[in-house]
Amino acid sequence: MNVTSVRPAGLLGKSVYWFAYYDGFGAADHGFRMLSEATVDILIPLEGRTVVAANQSNLKVVAAAEPLLIGPQKSFNLYDTSMCSRAFGIVFAPGGAARFIGPQAGRLTNCILPARDVLGPRLRILHDRLREESDPGVMFQIAEAYLRTHYTPDLKYAAEIDYAISAIRDGKTAHTSLVDFAERTIGFSHKHFVELFSRYVGLTPKRYQQISHFNSVLRRCRTSPHLTWRELSTLFGYADPSHLSKDFHRFAGMTPSDYLSKDVSHRQVLSEAVG
């Protein structure tokens, strides 16, 4: 499988993690496991069909040839690419989708649904234009132009939630309670903060903190392979390796050793049969 990706610059770069073009699926490319970062994803099949399963449940969109919207996930997704030869993806940063679809991410948690149900019939124009192209650079320009026409610059409370997302992701809340952070730093009551954060991000602040912490562990796993599991668990504040292993099962659906044995690109665990 070939993946070409780019992060848009300027205004969109704050809300969109990346655009990605997938092609060259081979017989060995059964699919992949996408680990959560609290993103909202739009998966657009260009040739063929896809199957996406949320959290290893029976909730599946079977053989979908139309664009799918994958809401913020509490755990991970399984993607079946065995019937798809080309696809295009738009990945919104945590809270970023609210700039384009309004603060309704809270209703999309763990959802997989036709993207047109949320983005409207104009998505068909984007889908058709992308299918006509084979140059990833041109496709990225088309997607960026589409999103710019749907961008909402002034969204109430967006600045406060964006700051909270950054603070949690960067570990600035690791040594303080989220209650204190909400009241002393953001200026909201804890209840109001949780309600707003959940509405914009689709996850509670606590769940997002857990996912961000786990993704920090994954990055360290890859950059410091010499660390033992005990050293890694101590470094990231786990009581012992068994607690770290529980987070691997909860957020990745596999053991730490299984994760390290996989071919991983960003948060994708590639070449995995989706059953």
250 SS3 class: helix
Domain that holds residue 115: 2-153
- Looking at the structure of the chain, the number of domains it has is 2
Whether residue 275 lies inside any domain: the answer is no
Q: Are residues 178 and 51 in the same domain?
A: no
Reported as a pLDDT band with limits 50, 70 and 90, residue 272 is: very low
Q: Are residues 43 and 175 in the same domain?
A: no
Q: Are residues 112 and 167 in the same domain?
A: no
Q: Are residues 193 and 232 in the same domain?
A: yes
What CA–CA distance (Å, rounded) separates 24 from 27?
Answer: 10
| Residue of 1, 60, 61 whose CA lies nearest to 27 | 1
Q: Are residues 105 and 168 in the same domain?
A: no
Q: Are residues 110 and 185 in the same domain?
A: no
Whether residue 36 lies inside any domain: the answer is yes
Q: Averaged over 109-118, what is the pLDDT?
A: 90
Q: Which of 112, 136, 153 is the last residue of a domain?
A: 153
Q: Are residues 43 and 162 in the same domain?
A: no
Please give the pLDDT value at position 85.
87
Q: Are residues 121 and 204 in the same domain?
A: no
Per-residue pLDDT tens over the stretch 199-254: 999 999 999 999 999 999 988 888 888 889 999 999 999 999 999 999 999 998 88
**Helix axes 123-132 and 136-148, enclosed angle (nearest 10):** 170
Q: Are residues 10 and 145 in the same domain?
A: yes
Q: Which of 102, 132, 153 is the last residue of a domain?
A: 153
Torsion on CA atoms 169, 175, 179, 182, rounded to nearest 10? -50
Whether residue 273 lies inside any domain: the answer is no
Q: Are residues 87 and 166 in the same domain?
A: no
What CA–CA distance (Å, rounded) separates 166 from 94?
Answer: 9
| pLDDT tops 60 at residue 274 | no
- Contact criterion met (CB below 8 Å) for 30 and 53: no
Whether residue 168 lies inside any domain: the answer is yes
What CA–CA distance (Å, rounded) separates 152 from 74?
Answer: 26
Q: CATH no. for residue 181?
A: 1.10.10.60
Whether residue 274 lies inside any domain: the answer is no
Q: Are residues 178 and 254 in the same domain?
A: yes
Q: Are residues 6 and 101 in the same domain?
A: yes
Per-residue pLDDT tens over the stretch 16-33: 999 999 887 665 666 788
